[in-house]
Structure 1
Amino acid sequence: MTKRKWQKHFIRDVFSLKSGSHDSFSKIVFKNPELVKSKDNKIPDTLFKFYAPTSSNILDVRKRRLWLSHPNSFNDPFDSHVGVDYKNYEKHLLLKHIDKTGFIAKSDGFSKKDYRRIADSKPGIYPHALSENEEYSSVISKMRRKSDDFKKEITKIRRRSKKEVSKKIDKIRETNIRVASFANLQSKNYPPARNDLERMIQMWAHYSDNHKGFCVEYDISSLKPANFFKMYENKNGYESYSSENNINLLILAGLFPIIYSSNRVNIPRTKLEKLTIDKDGNLINKVGIDEILYKAFITKSTKWSYEKEWRIILDGRISNYFNNKIPFPFIKHIYLGSRMKPKVIDDLIEIADELNVEVTLMDLNEKKFTLEHQNINSYKWDKEKSSWHNPLL
């Protein structure tokens, strides 16, 4: 198993134990906690999360909890969404329609040879240069000119296909799975720095309100598989989500590094075709697309690789139980942005004192395009000195 692909193997192993249509990722892990043993040497000691300086984020830090978002709110429209080959789906529906209706026999000018041209065509935009098969869209364009009947039929099928696929994909995207994102900034590339937080200028800009926010370092070294097994002596132990051990088990099971790729995770045409939507608009998943969905949740474009992202992925039912804010008592260090307002600095220093964690103020390096640590005592001293100045004298 390659180091970069272990997360796919883990997801596959979880869903291979699915015994019923209502078995979620969390329920399978509850029933089979030994699954997390395979993560024993793969979890980093610390992870970092960047925050905007909102009152909600600050309160979450004070209360040691973690907000989980739905991917529909992410800044990357591809994030966590499966891809689909529309052309292949359309081609399949068209051939199926022709077979079912006997269109060849009753259509003047449309032959079995034409049928084979469609069947053998390539759905992709750029077929292989040496391939004798034509590109699907090109074939259809030519066929439309052969017969008015065929032109009407293909237009009807293409509209139906687009509507059907779009409706199913939209329903898939509504799947209630929640996510919390982190950055793994541990590095040994430039001693004596222990991480490259100081160099992550883009992260500070994108996720911490242009350096006005903050970053929290979480020590997750305590999340080791050996800590979770004693509670399973009671077979019903998994039913209480509020149990600290239970939620930590789910955090560990749902913790993955992102796989950066130029290709999206695509749902096969055969599985997409078998998905149905009931009269109430609910997606009926009887063909096992859970593994595909979870793999989509951990796959992003290579353009985002600088983020060095890790994620906690949690079933919506569990997340909803905590109002989408799960207990996360692993705060180790709070880093304050170089443009943070004094009032927010003071609030977070107070919170750090309450939680007994370290706090550091970031500052701009005077010579290089990087950040550096400012001693928080220097900030306190400068603030105290400013109070000595009497503007009336």
Structure 2
Amino acid sequence: MDIMSLSEVEDSCLFRYRHFNKNTVKEILNKEIWHSDVNNLNDPFEFPIILDWSEIDRKDKSLLTKYAMHFDFLPLDEITYYCLNDKLDLLHSIINDNLHGASLAMKEYYESLYVCCFSKSLRDPLMWSHYSDGMKGLCIAYDKNILKGTNEYKNLNPVVYNKKPIEFLFKDFRTDKISSEFKYYDEVHKENRIAEPRLIRLNTFEHLYQKHERWAYEGEVRNIVDLDIPRSKRKDGALVKYPSDAIKAILVGCKMKGTKIKMIYRYCYYNKISLYIVSPDKRDYSILIKDLYIP
């Protein structure tokens, strides 16, 4: 295992601030990181997916055609029939019903994703205060390139901080086919036909990596995973494995009890992981970092 200096740790790692408890110990020992259900994150404004299809209410022929074709709601011959025979109310109703159902399904899907939060910052006093139990906890340094190189952490990306959520554009959406089919009545040919249902999805997770700028001090980098867990078996979160060599250092707060520091020291010693202790510099409100064990 490559041993990093403290400056290399700061340049190459992402940091996860934790209370010292049995869950944190299990994460370290079992090489797993907790990913939370979005509804259990501490920011109530997470995933600001606000969908506005109201422009179709103008019942503009070209706009309705654009929606129907982009989302593949109807075959082209049916769209043409509705437009040429002045049945725009019916076309609008079909599109609106499909969009409403698809929007509910999309919201449910994105709320089924799991999120894990890291920080780019090792020296922010507020992070130590808010997330490491006022320096009674610890901070784990993970090599970001090792994490990013795995399939489980391929969606590891920095959060964008803004005053208003990113607006959705038409090109941001796509439709995905799903396996089951259903029958519907074809108004054009006056017969029942088979259709392939589709789900509306965002082309990327970009809109899920944004928070209000009041959170900017966190310097967050988040990982988002789709574990495809049935609703009946879903919990508040899930543990996701990471490579055994991903941890490059552990930093403990100066207020941590000595018995707990000794426990972490033994782990770092046997696994050749650098260990540091962090304390507040009351001269300038900064963070002091001193080494306890360097392999």
Structure 1 174/288 Cα, relative in aligned 2: closer, same or farther at 3 Å?
A: closer
Q: Which structure has more helix as a fraction of its residues? A: 1
Structure 1 217/270 Cα, relative in aligned 2: closer, same or farther at 3 Å?
A: closer
Partner Cα separation in structure 2 for residue 47 and residue 184 of structure 1? 5
Any conservation in 1 of the 2:18–2:131 contact (CA below 8 Å)?
Answer: yes
Partner of 2:270: 354
The answer as to 2:225 corresponding to 1:314 is: yes
Which residue, 133, 147, 164 being the options, matches 1:209?
A: 133
Structure 1 285/335 Cα, relative in aligned 2: closer, same or farther at 3 Å?
A: farther
Partner of 2:261: 345
The answer as to 2:81 corresponding to 1:180 is: no
Partner Cα separation in structure 2 for residue 324 and residue 332 of structure 1? 20
Offset at residue 63 of structure 1 (A) = 2.2
The answer as to 2:173 corresponding to 1:261 is: no
Partner of 2:215: 304
Larger Rg: 1
Structure 1 175/357 Cα, relative in aligned 2: closer, same or farther at 3 Å?
A: same
Partner Cα separation in structure 1 for residue 259 and residue 111 of structure 2? 40
Structure 1 285/367 Cα, relative in aligned 2: closer, same or farther at 3 Å?
A: farther
Partner of 1:286: 198
SS in 1 for 2:260: helix
Per-residue CA deviation, residues 197-231 of structure 1 (Å, 9 max, x unaligned), is: 23x11111221122221101112344676xxxxxx
Partner of 2:279: 363
Any conservation in 1 of the 2:159–2:220 contact (CA below 8 Å)?
Answer: yes
Partner Cα separation in structure 1 for residue 221 and residue 213 of structure 2? 14
Partner Cα separation in structure 2 for residue 215 and residue 254 of structure 1? 22
SS in 2 for 1:335: strand
Letter in 1 for 2:35: L
RMSD: 3.8
Letter in 2 for 1:311: R
Any conservation in 2 of the 1:216–1:333 contact (CA below 8 Å)?
Answer: yes
Offset at residue 267 of structure 1 (A) = 5.1
Per-residue CA deviation, residues 25-51 of structure 1 (Å, 9 max, x unaligned), is: xxxxxxxxxxxxxxxxxxx73211111
Give 1:135-154 correspondences, 5 Å limit: none
Which residue, 319, 327, 331 being the options, matches 2:242?
A: 327
Partner Cα separation in structure 2 for residue 302 and residue 348 of structure 1? 35
Structure 1 260/174 Cα, relative in aligned 2: closer, same or farther at 3 Å?
A: closer
Gaps in structure 1 of 5+ consecutive residues: 1-43, 100-160, 186-196, 226-247, 276-283, 378-393
The count of corresponding residues between Structure 1 and Structure 2 is 220
Please identify runs of 4+ aligned residues in structure 1 that moved more than 6 A: 268-272
Offset at residue 305 of structure 1 (A) = 1.7
SS in 2 for 1:288: strand
